[in-house]
Structure 1
Amino acid sequence: MITDMQLVFLILIITTVCFLIPRFRADLVATCALLALLLTGLVTVPEAFAGFSNSVVIMVAALFIVGEGVFQSGLAKKAGDLLVKKTGNKEWKLTVFMLLLVAVLSGFISNTGTVAILLPVVVSLCRQMQIHPGKLLIPLAFASSMGGALTLIGTAPNLIASQSLADSGYGSLSFFAFTPIGLTMLIIGILYLWFIGRRMLDKPVETKTGMVTNFNAAELVEQYRISNYIHTLKTPEDSSIVGQSIKELQLASTYHITVLEVIKEKSSTSLKRFSSGRLIHPITVGPSYIVEKGDIFLIYAERDALKKLTADTGLIHLLGEPPKLEESHLAEVILTPQSRLINQTIRNVNFREKYGLTVLALKHQFTEAKKVNADDRLHYGDAILVHGKWNDINLLSSEKNDTVVLKSAAEDTDLANQTNKSWIAGIILMAMLIAMVLEWVPAVVSIAVAAVLMILTDCVRNTDQAYKAINWQTVVLIACMLPMATALEKTGGVTFMSEGLINSLGALGPIAVLAGLYGITSLFSQFISNTATAVLLFPVAILTAEQMSVSPIPMVMAVAFSSSMAFATPVATPPNAMVMAAGKYTFLDFVRVGIPLQIVIAVVAVLLLPLFFPF
């Protein structure tokens, strides 16, 4: 008959396999694992839901609100502007300053949010300096992970490490406990990325459509292969559709076409010219637009649908010079790893109704871009090309939890959610850090107070925005995985893993065991959440140290560092996944650049941890 310990390991194995399948959300998998433990009697009801009252869970949720205040107030944007000013036109300045900036920011706010802010900035600078963005975006993602290990609040595993030690009676870690080793790792990582990593990523500048310093809509149209679907139609005076609205015509349902823009002939000299030389004024078309005679429409359609439309309505298909979409109406968008849009179809997302935008093309990881279909399902790491008013694109760009607007024609535009209270957000953030460093109050109190102040001072627009800012997937994941660690401890699973580690490496000394812990954690964190990995292995690290009669602090910190330093796969961390589409990387790119860095950082950790935190 199966024992309780075997049952826990069976649930753990199934949970791990489900974590590896992109179709399943990590928080849903963790919730199912929690229920499985509860229904099999492996944990009690109080034990099952104790994670939701854990101070780490509260701190993580509050930190998301603090980070949102930093973003919405414009403080993070100022950091991006600083990057633009300091780089000049030199690649080495851009690379080094970018790595330092993203690392410092990631030490205090979410590394995912930091990458979301700086990603479009770096891509734009690469375009201006005629550098392929793939040369810098993997370093950007890696630096954000290394920066997260600089402070106690930089990443969730660090917070959980401190709490785990405190719960076991060893006291919590100080705010800068991770900094000496983390800073050494960062410096070595930057040197590696500059001298070795970026050379592995050295790709030729794309010249298919001509590399230009400004945003180029034609370049995006070419990359997403939609030029054959953009057509120009003119409305003759005797057309039957004159006087009708776009909604009344039901063009999408009847002909499967989308009207993108209409060109009105004007006399202003500031307007662009059509292929015939006439001045034009392109505007986006909404459902309420009334068709007038002489209107020139840019539509998105298959040729068969186009023929049927012109035959039924008398619209004239204008041939000759290929039609060009208005640059301010186009944007390339990537999905964040925690996006609520993942696993939904284009039809269910309702981009047109929700954002006022039309999805023109879709690019899955490792595949070529294609014309979008309403039943296409959005996946982890997808990139999409959208069309619409710039104000609507701006609204989409403000939803940092779901999407990042990577390329667009906008420059120096104020985001719709920006509050312009950067100095207030800076004071709140600095006060929180000082309170935590000097330990005036418990860390959870400092962070919670800072989160509330961000809302009360309007650095975060309102309470609803604060709730939206919280990455509930991470919060639920931590709360639901903590009972798994409890079940492993109750059934002897932690003891089993600890004894196995000691029996295999214990004879070689504590440094060998520390290296083994680091290696196991590193392997797991390449494929499943670093938070879930840390939650499961912290109890093993503490018990192993106790059985060897050594300090558990270096063991716990080894797990914390290793879980955050995940470079070898694009799914290892959210920042890795975010740069995947933007840098046009393959899985092999991460393996080639990430594994050597993984090994170098591991050696640094194993050598330095016993020096700073003796056994």
Structure 2
Amino acid sequence: MTTDLAIVLAFLAAAIVMFALNRPRMDAVAVMIMVALPLTGIISVTEALAGFADPNVILIAALFVIGEGLVRTGVAQRLGDALVRRARGDETRLLVLLMVIVAGIGSVMSSTGVVAIFIPVVLRMARSAGTSPGQLMMPLSVAALVSGMTTLVATPPNLVVHAELIRHGFEGFGFFDFTPFGLPILGLAILYMMVARRWLSARHPVAVPSGRPRLADWVAQYDLAEREYRLRVRPGSPLVGRRLEGLDMRATSGVNIVAIERSSRIGERFVAATAATVLNDGDVLHLDLFAPTIDIDAVARRYHLERLPLGDQSLADRRQTIGMAEVMVPQTSTLIGKTVVEARFRTTYGLHVIGLKRGGTPHKGSVLDRHLGLGDTLLLIGPWKAIRRLQGESQDLFLLPLPIEVDAVMPAAARTPYALAVLAVVVVLMVGGVVPNVQAALFGCLLLGLFRCIDFNAAYRSIHWQSLVLIVGMLPFALALQRTGGVELAAGLLLDSVGRTNPHAVLAGLFVVTAGLGLFISNTATAVLMAPVALAAASDLGASPYPFAMVVALAASAAFMTPVSSPVNTLVMGPGRYTFRDFVRVGVPFTVLVMGVSVGLVPWLFPF
């Protein structure tokens, strides 16, 4: 072993220890590596920083942006809601649909982002099905990890291995080259989790106070559940073609139209109930009653309306478009002394007052004729866009903390068709090889911006800079190990330990080492280190590099064994109330199964 190799290995050992301890954080370690390695003289500063110009690093950043476009337009959220409806309370069907949908979405966007989106969806599904979230959170994380085995762009390790092939003069992997392995492993994962979920904790999660209200809290405080009704405008109704400001239903019938569902080409959508809104035949009106004595059936007969069940169509369940907020009347407000009607909330703010508190006690009955006083708290309902505009209102109303649900609101929900079209264009360009993958992804980012699915601020925020810096910082290690003979040494040790006559044993050895390293460092960093070793082992055997590279990529995604193996596992640990032992008990056997499938299937599709 040369002195240079000993120095590089010492740096590598130090980096692995810091990664395992997570002190300092991973991206800081990567920067330390970029600074330290050029000081040894083994690589130059330019080579240490070359990763910032690597097309695959730019591609990963662009894929983060495309994934954020899918989040902001609600593609993942809508699929989750459809999942709940399709499952119809059947736990087995719920598990299968959940894992299929999560793996499908994860094939084109960050698995960590997918899990973050689906955690609240799974919690809601568990409540609806009357089951513990612990029975579904682990299947969620497993499906998200398996999604990394389905397409070239599903996870950064795939792109790292792909880039290493190209760097060695080989043709890289195709977009769907991973799919023949990912789909069987996904099927195996579904069958396995049907059995393994019985080993998981059945305890329900402990609610952690957040300090912020929930929509459900306000529904209970203001007794809204007993006041909300849905009625459809029937043909021949006297409401058809009329503006809301001319109806005055609040004064004549004691009801307030707070939202309108209207059919469109992309399904049902909510229309703001403003003074200028014109009602159409077939509109579904969400009514708020000002007094429990109002006869809703009489209202329906009078206006020729059809009463509909509320079900999961309540305004609290349609939180993506309709929101609620509490505001306080400050001392400087010009609304003091005026009634709600005189304040013209619907005309001025585009919002409706549906509740009032004075001295912390909700007012029972109609709030329309109440004179507003200093310190009164009003509950408003309407579009989130109108609620956010209140943040700039400093004189008449003071906006109190918004509910937790505002964090999950999709700011570009109406742009879903455009986001799906852009995704289709990007996939076609990548699959067809019309342009390089990075160019196709950047083109997709520009289209998302053009169609207002995402803006520049959101695009920059969506990029996981820690992951990019980690990749860039680990690339010099691979170069330094190659230059000092470390890659050849590692490949030789691997071949000597498993034998040079059995390539299947070499694949198994690569899988074990890659998955083992993944217990301590990120799967991206593992792929950076192991991809050159895999290609060197293939060269020593005189075999094709593709089966060895593919096994490394699959093993890098097989981070099932501990809660720190992947951010995906860490995210579900709290909501599922899992222990370290839960991940070991479920993850280790499944990793062994995935290794068996990979070692058996990869040489069949990528011969030695």
Q: Which amino acid aligns with 1:436?
A: M
Give the CA deviation at 1:541: 0.5
* Alpha-carbon distance in structure 2 between the residues aligned to 1:602 and 1:426: 34
Q: Could you say what secondary structure the match of 1:180 adopts?
A: helix
* Alpha-carbon distance in structure 2 between the residues aligned to 1:560 and 1:327: 53
Q: Which amino acid aligns with 1:7?
A: I
Q: Could you say what secondary structure the match of 1:447 adopts?
A: helix
Tell me which residue corresponds to 2:421: 427
- Structure 1 pair 435–294 and aligned structure 2 pair: CA distance change class (3 A): closer
Larger radius of gyration: 2
- Structure 1 pair 148–287 and aligned structure 2 pair: CA distance change class (3 A): farther
Tell me which residue corresponds to 2:164: 164
* Alpha-carbon distance in structure 1 between the residues aligned to 2:54 and 2:133: 41
Tell me which residue corresponds to 2:559: 566
5 Å-filtered alignment, 1:381-530, equals 391=402, 393-395=404-406, 397-398=407-408, 414-415=409-410, 417-460=411-454, 462-530=455-523
Kept in 2: contact 1:126–1:132 (CA 8 A): yes
* Alpha-carbon distance in structure 1 between the residues aligned to 2:328 and 2:481: 57
* Alpha-carbon distance in structure 2 between the residues aligned to 1:443 and 1:423: 23
* Alpha-carbon distance in structure 2 between the residues aligned to 1:115 and 1:389: 30
Tell me which residue corresponds to 1:534: 527
* Alpha-carbon distance in structure 2 between the residues aligned to 1:496 and 1:206: 49
Q: Which amino acid aligns with 1:599?
A: V
* Alpha-carbon distance in structure 2 between the residues aligned to 1:148 and 1:447: 18
* Alpha-carbon distance in structure 2 between the residues aligned to 1:54 and 1:451: 18
5 Å-filtered alignment, 1:268-279, equals none
Say yes or no: does 1:116 pair with 2:127.
no
Q: Aligned match of 1:295 in 336, 344, 359? A: 359
Kept in 2: contact 1:83–1:98 (CA 8 A): yes
- Structure 1 pair 72–6 and aligned structure 2 pair: CA distance change class (3 A): same
Give the CA deviation at 1:23: 4.1
- Structure 1 pair 47–208 and aligned structure 2 pair: CA distance change class (3 A): closer
The count of aligned residue pairs is: 451
Kept in 2: contact 1:80–1:117 (CA 8 A): no
**Superposed CA RMSD:** 3.2
Give the CA deviation at 1:517: 0.6
Tell me which residue corresponds to 1:57: 57
Kept in 1: contact 2:37–2:43 (CA 8 A): yes
* Alpha-carbon distance in structure 2 between the residues aligned to 1:287 and 1:3: 74
* Alpha-carbon distance in structure 1 between the residues aligned to 2:16 and 2:179: 31
Kept in 2: contact 1:527–1:569 (CA 8 A): no
Tell me which residue corresponds to 2:577: 584
TM-score (norm 2): 0.69
Give the CA deviation at 1:33: 1.3
Q: Which amino acid aligns with 1:141?
A: S
Kept in 1: contact 2:134–2:203 (CA 8 A): no
* Alpha-carbon distance in structure 2 between the residues aligned to 1:502 and 1:204: 46
Kept in 1: contact 2:64–2:464 (CA 8 A): yes
Q: Which amino acid aligns with 2:421?
A: I
Give the CA deviation at 1:185: 0.9
- Structure 1 pair 29–91 and aligned structure 2 pair: CA distance change class (3 A): same
Q: Any stretches of 5+ residues in structure 1 without a counterpart? A: 219-266, 271-281, 299-325, 329-354, 356-387, 399-413
Give the CA deviation at 1:468: 0.5
For each residue in 1:238-270, what CA deviation from the matched residue of structure 2 results, as whole angstroms up to 9, or x when unmatched?
A: xxxxxxxxxxxxxxxxxxxxxxxxxxxxx9758
5 Å-filtered alignment, 1:144-183, equals 144-183=144-183
* Alpha-carbon distance in structure 1 between the residues aligned to 2:207 and 2:166: 58
- Structure 1 pair 498–295 and aligned structure 2 pair: CA distance change class (3 A): same
* Alpha-carbon distance in structure 2 between the residues aligned to 1:287 and 1:14: 59
Tell me which residue corresponds to 2:590: 597
Kept in 2: contact 1:75–1:423 (CA 8 A): no
* Alpha-carbon distance in structure 1 between the residues aligned to 2:172 and 2:512: 24
Give the CA deviation at 1:166: 1.3
* Alpha-carbon distance in structure 2 between the residues aligned to 1:287 and 1:514: 69
* Alpha-carbon distance in structure 1 between the residues aligned to 2:331 and 2:79: 41
Give the CA deviation at 1:181: 1.1
Q: Could you say what secondary structure the match of 1:420 adopts?
A: helix
For each residue in 1:126-183, what CA deviation from the matched residue of structure 2 results, as whole angstroms up to 9, or x when unmatched?
A: 0121100011101100111101210001111111111111111110111110110111
Q: Could you say what secondary structure the match of 1:568 adopts?
A: coil
Tell me which residue corresponds to 1:198: 197
Kept in 1: contact 2:30–2:470 (CA 8 A): yes
5 Å-filtered alignment, 1:288-437, equals 295-296=359-360, 391=402, 393-395=404-406, 397-398=407-408, 414-415=409-410, 417-437=411-431
Tell me which residue corresponds to 2:545: 552
5 Å-filtered alignment, 1:208-247, equals none
Give the CA deviation at 1:112: 1.1
Give the CA deviation at 1:526: 2.1
* Alpha-carbon distance in structure 2 between the residues aligned to 1:286 and 1:533: 54
Kept in 2: contact 1:89–1:129 (CA 8 A): yes
Q: Could you say what secondary structure the match of 2:414 adopts?
A: coil
* Alpha-carbon distance in structure 1 between the residues aligned to 2:428 and 2:153: 13
Give the CA deviation at 1:393: 2.9
* Alpha-carbon distance in structure 2 between the residues aligned to 1:193 and 1:451: 36
* Alpha-carbon distance in structure 2 between the residues aligned to 1:207 and 1:284: 27
Tell me which residue corresponds to 1:27: 27
Give the CA deviation at 1:501: 0.9
* Alpha-carbon distance in structure 2 between the residues aligned to 1:456 and 1:393: 30
Kept in 1: contact 2:561–2:584 (CA 8 A): yes
Give the CA deviation at 1:295: 3.1
Give the CA deviation at 1:42: 2.3
Give the CA deviation at 1:117: 1.4
* Alpha-carbon distance in structure 2 between the residues aligned to 1:181 and 1:451: 29
Kept in 1: contact 2:204–2:577 (CA 8 A): no
* Alpha-carbon distance in structure 2 between the residues aligned to 1:11 and 1:207: 43
- Structure 1 pair 285–49 and aligned structure 2 pair: CA distance change class (3 A): same
Q: Could you say what secondary structure the match of 2:146 adopts?
A: helix
Single out whichever of 511-520 and 82-91 deviates more from structure 2.
82-91
Tell me which residue corresponds to 2:141: 141
For each residue in 1:357-403, what CA deviation from the matched residue of structure 2 results, as whole angstroms up to 9, or x when unmatched?
A: xxxxxxxxxxxxxxxxxxxxxxxxxxxxxxx95735345x25xxxxx
Q: Which amino acid aligns with 2:427?
A: L
* Alpha-carbon distance in structure 2 between the residues aligned to 1:129 and 1:99: 16
Give the CA deviation at 1:24: 2.3
* Alpha-carbon distance in structure 1 between the residues aligned to 2:216 and 2:202: 20
Single out whichever of 60-69 and 26-35 deviates more from structure 2.
26-35
Q: Give the share of equivalent positions with the same residue, in percent.
A: 38
Q: Which amino acid aligns with 2:493?
A: G
Q: Could you say what secondary structure the match of 1:421 adopts?
A: helix
Give the CA deviation at 1:2: 7.4
Tell me which residue corresponds to 1:73: 73
Kept in 2: contact 1:157–1:563 (CA 8 A): yes
- Structure 1 pair 14–207 and aligned structure 2 pair: CA distance change class (3 A): closer
